[in-house]
C-alpha cells in the first residue's frame, strides 16, 4: 500500500502501547471484527496491505489469515476524531470469524433479551450489489459526459434511444430464454447484461438510481 506512515505518530496508543482497530467490509459497510494493534502491527499492515494485529493473550503479533487463508486486503485506513481508534476498510477473503461466520458480530440480542446467532452474508451480498450498481452507474454517466472512443457505452449513446431500447428488449429476451433453459450461469450472465443496458437507458433518460430506490422502498411497505 502506498500510504504515508506519518499518521501513526498522530495516534494515541494506550498505556500498553495498543490501539483498538475496527475492521469493516469496504463493499458492504459490515463490521467484521474488533482487534488491537501496536505500532509494529500497524506499520506491518501499511507495508503488506493486509491486516496485522497484536494478541493481548499471547503477547505477540499475528497476521490475520496466515493460518486460515482468510486474509483481509486493506483498502483504506481511517482514525477517529480523538485519534485513539482506527478503522480498517478491507476486502475479506472467506470468513473473518474463527467460528466460520463472515463477521465476528453474529450474536444478536433481541428486545426480549434472547440471543440469536445469525449469518448476514446474504443481506450483505445484496448491499454489495447496491454498491456495485452505484459504481457502474457512475462509470456510465462518465462515459456519457466524456464519450471516449472505442467504448461500447459511447457507441450506445451515439446511436440513441432506439438502439438502447432495442438492446434492452434483446437482453430481456435472453433472460427469458436462459431461465426457460434453467441454466444458472446463463441466467447470471444475461441478467447482468440486462441490468447494464437498463442503467444505460436510465442515464440516457436522465433518471438516477435514487429515484428507482425511492420507488422500490415505497413498494416494500
Total count of domains within the chain:
2
SS3 content of the chain, % helix, strand, coil (to 5): 45, 20, 35
CATH for 214? 1.10.287.1080
Verify that 138 and 76 share a domain, yes or no.
no
**Residue matched to cell numbers 465476528:** 104
Residue 78 domain boundaries? 6-108
Which string of b and e fits 35-71 if b means at least 16 CB within 10 Å?
bbbbbebbebbbeeebbbbbeeeeeeeebbbeeeebb
Domain presence at residue 115: no
> pLDDT (tens digit, 9 = 90+) per residue, 123-177?
556 667 877 898 899 999 999 999 999 999 999 999 999 999 999 999 999 999 9
Verify that 22 and 90 share a domain, yes or no.
yes
Last residue of a domain, one of 76, 108, 140: 108
Domain presence at residue 193: yes
CATH for 87? 3.10.20.810
> pLDDT (tens digit, 9 = 90+) per residue, 85-137?
999 999 999 889 988 888 999 888 888 877 777 665 555 566 678 778 988 99
Q: Give the span between the Cα atoms of 25 and 39, in whole angstroms.
A: 23
Q: List 140's β-bridge partners, or say none.
A: none
Verify that 163 and 135 share a domain, yes or no.
yes
CA 215 to chain centroid, in Å, comes to 24
Domain presence at residue 143: yes
Q: Give the span between the Cα atoms of 156 and 164, in whole angstroms.
A: 6
Verify that 97 and 11 share a domain, yes or no.
yes
C-alpha cell at position 71: 486474509
Amino acid at each position: 500500500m502506498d500510504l504515508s506512515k506519518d499518521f501513526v505518530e498522530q495516534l494515541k496508543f494506550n498505556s500498553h502501547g495498543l490501539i483498538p482497530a475496527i475492521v469493516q467490509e469496504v463493499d458492504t459497510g459490515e463490521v467484521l471484527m474488533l482487534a488491537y494493534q501496536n505500532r509494529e502491527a500497524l506499520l506491518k499492515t501499511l507495508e503488506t496491505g493486509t491486516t496485522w494485529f497484536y494478541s493481548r493473550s499471547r503477547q505477540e503479533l499475528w497476521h490475520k489469515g496466515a493460518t486460515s487463508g482468510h486474509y483481509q486486503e486493506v483498502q483504506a485506513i481511517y482514525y477517529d476524531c480523538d485519534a485513539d481508534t482506527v478503522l480498517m476498510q478491507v476486502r475479506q477473503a472467506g470468513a473473518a470469524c474463527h467460528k466460520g461466520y463472515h463477521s465476528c458480530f453474529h450474536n444478536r440480542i433481541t428486545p426480549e433479551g434472547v440471543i440469536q446467532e445469525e449469518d448476514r452474508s446474504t443481506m450483505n451480498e445484496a448491499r454489495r450489489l447496491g454498491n456495485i450498481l452505484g459504481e457502474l452507474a457512475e462509470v456510465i454517466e462518465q462515459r456519457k459526459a466524456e464519450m471516449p472512443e472505442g467504448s461500447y457505452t459511447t457507441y450506445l449513446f451515439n446511436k440513441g434511444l432506439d438502439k438502447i431500447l432495442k438492446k434492452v428488449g434483446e437482453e430481456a429476451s435472453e433472460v427469458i430464454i436462459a431461465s426457460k433453459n434453467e441454466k444458472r450461469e446463463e441466467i447470471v450472465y444475461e441478467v447482468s447484461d440486462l441490468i447494464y443496458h437498463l442503467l444505460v437507458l436510465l442515464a440516457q433518460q436522465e433518471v438516477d438510481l435514487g429515484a428507482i430506490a425511492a420507488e422500490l422502498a415505497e413498494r416494500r411497505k
